[in-house]
A and B are shown apart, each in its own frame.
Chain A
Amino acid sequence: MLDGILSDPRLWHIVGLSLAVSLSAVAIATVLGMPLGAAIAVGRFPGRQAVIVILNALMGLPPVVVGLFIYLLLSRAGPLGSLGLLFTPPAMVIAQTVLVLPIIAALARQSVEDAWREYEEQLRSLGVHGWRGALTVLWDIRFSLVTAVLAGLGRASAEVGAVMIVGGNIDGVTRVMTTTIALETSKGDLPLALGLGLVLIAIVLALNAAADLVKQAAQRRYG
């Protein structure tokens, strides 16, 4: 029966959309979150400790709450309603970016702060300050930061509440793996739900394995 499910072209559309949405969200969150985390790690400003606590707390944002929040922003009457994004894949990318960004920023902040202890004196001696120092350290520990990206990817690919609310789970448009699994389970089509679940786990495993190989090779090369 699993064979029949796996040869269904609709399934591969769902898998493709899931990957496109989650990978886009992780990419955006990485580009924004890494420098943000590094800046908080290296910067010294009033309220810094409070910012760290809030950032760490945001890692636990409930997806349905984020979904609701983005829904209100994007709904026709909302402040961004004119963009017409509600129930489209871009809305799902926005919601997942909001969920993933704090995870990547908070983990990057911790990694950069730990590394900064080692680098600070040397960099200050060379006359490096501010942004330059933050970005130098960020680039230097890039292989350890793979873990932060993977944590973000795990969150995005596993999440169902936010994409359900802002995407609407429309067949062929915004239906992704997790929303399909939820739907098929409630309809009683357990084999399809189970098959999709296995595909989802296999994809996550493969992405993590690939990332680990890159990381290992890089660490052997650069020490």
Chain B
Amino acid sequence: MILPLRIEELTFVAGGRTLIDRVSLELEAGPSTIILGANGAGKSVLMRLMHGLLAPTSGRVLWNAEGARRCQAMVFQRPVMLRRSALANVAYGLKVSGSPQAERMAMDALEEVGLTHVARHPARVLSGGEQQRLALARAWALHPEVLFLDEPTANLDPGATREIETVIKAFDAAGTKIIMSTHSLGQARRLGDEVIFLHQGRVAERAPVERFFPQPASPEAAAFVKGELPWA
């Protein structure tokens, strides 16, 4: 078990701007965590720091066990697909991690997200929604303990968004810890158990979903919820 994840006094400065400002958190296995906040609040940067794609300026990211790198996966806002078949894209991740029977496991993952019918199609000619589901399959095939999702539906239409959310719910139900950023309140409600609300690189509030939306405690979160609700 690589969870719980503890981050201590995490700070990230780029180009003279403090994007993450002394954030301390502990994330346990179980509840799916939604990182909420306006554009530029630091959601993506915080997830990249946790996932190890960025090195913090100061502070620490502490996983509970060694080899945490292999037990996590990340799905990005814009999926990056290799110029090969959908199946080969999923198998690539498995081969890198040294799995035998990569092809068969990749096929299982495609089935999980409902893409077996395009397994042999070149990944880059799939639709945006299909590519994002493929990205989920690629992450899922690795059976991560923790799955980071960086605004996975930001570029998708409502239909594709629904499909992605269904897949995320299935991963959550299977016991994968979901850590997802979004600026959509509706999505946060549908998928989240708890909300971490970021404002200008700091955690303004952390609360269970059922309390966060009706009664946000911090003024920043209250303003965000009030301002966003009509479109949620």
Contacts and interface: CB of A to CB of B under 8 A. Distances in A.
Interface of A: 118-119, 121-122, 124-128, 132, 136, 140-141, 143, 221-223
Nearest to A219: B83
Given A122-B76, A222-B84, 9 more contacts: A118-B80, A119-B80, A121-B53, A127-B69, A127-B70, A132-B96, A140-B84, A143-B83, A222-B83
A122 B92 CA distance: 12
24 contacts: A118-B80, A119-B80, A122-B80, A124-B53, A126-B92, A126-B96, A126-B97, A126-B138, A127-B70, A127-B97, A132-B96, A136-B82, A136-B92, A140-B82, A140-B83, A141-B83, A143-B83, A221-B122, A222-B83, A222-B84, A222-B122, A222-B124, A223-B83, A223-B123
Interface of B: 48, 51, 53, 69-70, 73-74, 76, 79-80, 82-84, 92-93, 96-97, 122-125, 138
A126 B53 contact: no
Contacts of A136: 82, 92
In the A-B complex, list the 3 residue pairs whose CB atoms are closest, starting with the nearest.
A223-B124, A122-B80, A223-B125
A127 B96 contact: yes
Interface of A is mostly: helix
Nearest to B97: A127
A118 B122 CA distance: 18
A126 B83 contact: no
Contacts of A119: 80
A126 B125 contact: no
A93 B84 CA distance: 35
Nearest to A128: B96
A125 B51 contact: yes
Nearest to A118: B80
Contacts of B74: 125
B76 A121 contact: yes
Contacts of B93: 126
Contacts of A121: 48, 53, 76, 80
A118 B124 CA distance: 14
Given A136-B82, A140-B82, A125 B53 contact: yes
Contacts of B123: 223
A118 B81 CA distance: 10
A162 to B, nearest CB: 36
Nearest to A124: B53
Contacts of A126: 73, 92-93, 96-97, 138
A160 to B, nearest CB: 38
Contacts of B83: 140-141, 143, 222-223
Contacts of A132: 96
B129 to A, nearest CB: 16
A164 B146 CA distance: 64
Contacts of B125: 222-223
B213 to A, nearest CB: 31
Contacts of B80: 118-119, 121-122
A146 to B, nearest CB: 14
B131 to A, nearest CB: 10
